[in-house]
Amino acid sequence: MPALDGVKVLDLTQYEAGTTCTQYLAWFGADVVKVERPGIGDPGRSVAGGGRDSLYFLSFNNNKRSAAIALDTDEGRELFLRMVPRFDVVVENFTLGTMEKLGLGYDVLKAVNPAVIYATIKGFGTTGPRREYKCFDMVAQAAGGTFSVTGEADGPPTRPGATFADTGSGVHAALGVLGAYIERLRTGRGQVVEIAMQEVVANFMREPMSQREWRGSPIGRRGSRTVMPTDLYPCAPGGPNDYVYIMVVTTRMWDCLAVALDMPELGLDPRFATIRDRNQNGDVLWEIISGWTRQRTKWEAMEHLAAAGVPCSAVYDSDDIFRDEHLQARGMIRTLEHPVVGEFQLLGPPIHLSEPQAELRRAPLLGEHTREVLEGELGLGPAELAELARLGVIGEAPAVAQPHP
C-alpha cells in the first residue's frame, strides 16, 4: 500500500506553496481533502482565465478531493471543526491572521484535536518585524538572495525563472509534516510546523553564501561562466534555447573534453595548461569550443560530450521537458484525462519509492467531493446537505458532459 495510506489531511491551501505540500502528501497516498470557498475555490484555478481550471491548478492538485465549504459562515466553521478530530493534519498558507479571523487558529483546532499537526506557510513567518509583509514567490526570492547572484556580472539583479520559493517551501512543509507525524507516533502529541518562504530561499543559497569565507564580500552575479571552460555554448540552428552547458571542474574532465572535441592539442597549449591559464584566456577558449558546438545541435553536442565523460546538458525548454525520452522512460511525464480540459500532460512525482505508490489522479473539480466528504466524515444526510447548499454554506461541482473543445 502507499506510504501514507490512512493519513488524512485537511487542505486549506491556495496557489503553489501550500498546494505543493499537500500534493506531495497526496502523492504518497494520504487522503487530502481540499476545502475551498464555494463558487470561487483556490484562486489558482483561474490564473489563466477562460472559465475553466488552469493547467497551473491541475499541476499542483493531483490526488486530492475537493469539498466546497464557506468557512466564513458559522455553519461552515462548525462543519470544519467537526471534521478536524477525524483528520491528522491541517495545512494552510493564507495571509498571516486569516485563520484566526475565521476562528480556526491552531489553539482552536488543538482544543478539538490535541493530536492535530498544523502546518502553516508564510512569506516571512509568524514572528519578527516583517511577519505581516505580503509575499509571493518572487518577493521571497528577492528577500532570500537569489536575485543577487542571477544574471550577468555587469547586469542588474535578475529573477530566476523557476519558482524555488513556492515549490521549495511546499516541499519543506511536507518534510516538516512527516517529521511531526513520526514524532506524534512516539508521543501522541501534535504540533505546529511553520515555514517561512524567505528562509527556504536563503537555505537554497547556502553554497554561494559559503564563498564569503574566502571572498570577504557579497557574492556577485555569476552568469553562466565559472571556472573555464565551464560555460554556456551556442549550438545549431541558433534558436533562443539552442545551447549546451558544459561543466569541467577537474583535470581529467578537461582531458576528456579535449579528446571529445578531437582537439588533443588543447591539452598541450600553454594558454590552457592550468585552471588559472584557462580563466585568463577564457574568451579565446570559449571561441574555440563554441566553434565546435555551433556545428552541432544541442542534442548532438550533449550526447557526444556526455559519452566522452564530460558533464554537460542541452538547455531544455518547457516543451523539451515533455518530449524528453529519458524522463518519459522514468515515468515522469504523465497523461491524464479531465472532464473539462480533456487530455493533458503533467509531471509526475519526482520521488521514487520501491514499494507501491498511489496511482496518479487528476485534480478535482471545485466541490466535486463535497457530498462524499460530508456524508463519509460527518454522516450528514440528504436533507441536511440540501439545506446547507440552500444557505450557500456548501457547494458541489456541476455535472460535466463533455471535455472543453
- Grid cell digits, residue 206: 547556502
Alpha-carbon distance values, 381 to 38, 52, 370, 376, 386 (Å)? 19, 30, 12, 10, 9
What span, in angstroms and rounded, lies between the C-alpha atoms of 192 and 384? 33
Is 324 assigned a catalytic role?
no
- 36 contacts 92 by C-beta, under 8 angstroms: no
User: Edge-to-edge strand order for the sheet containing 89-92?
Assistant: 192-196, 117-122, 89-92, 8-12, 31-36, 64-69, 394-395
Which H/E stretch holds residue 336? strand 333-338
Sign of CA dihedral 96, 101, 105, 109: negative
User: Helix, strand or coil for residue 373?
Assistant: helix
Q: State the catalytic residue, choosing from 31, 42, 137, 166.
A: 166
Which helix (H) or strand (E) segment holds residue 255: the answer is: helix 251-260
Neighbouring residues of 290: CB distance < 8 A, sequence distance ≥ 6: 233, 234
Distance separating alpha carbons of residues 350 and 333, to the nearest angstrom: 10
Amino acid at 82: R
Of the candidates 66, 58, 14, the residue with the CA atom closest to the CA atom of residue 362: 58
Going from the C-alpha of 175 to that of each of 75, 118, 172, 180, 298, the distances in angstroms are 33, 13, 5, 9, 37
Question: Which residue from 291, 288, 284, 316 is spatially nearest to 302, judged by alpha carbons?
Answer: 316
Q: Which of 381, 343, 387, 385 is nearest to 362 (CA)?
A: 343
Q: What is the DSSP string of 191-219?
A: -EEEEEHHHHHHHHTHHHHHTHHHH-S--
Q: CA-based Rg of the chain, rounded to a whole angstrom?
A: 26
Catalytic residues: 166
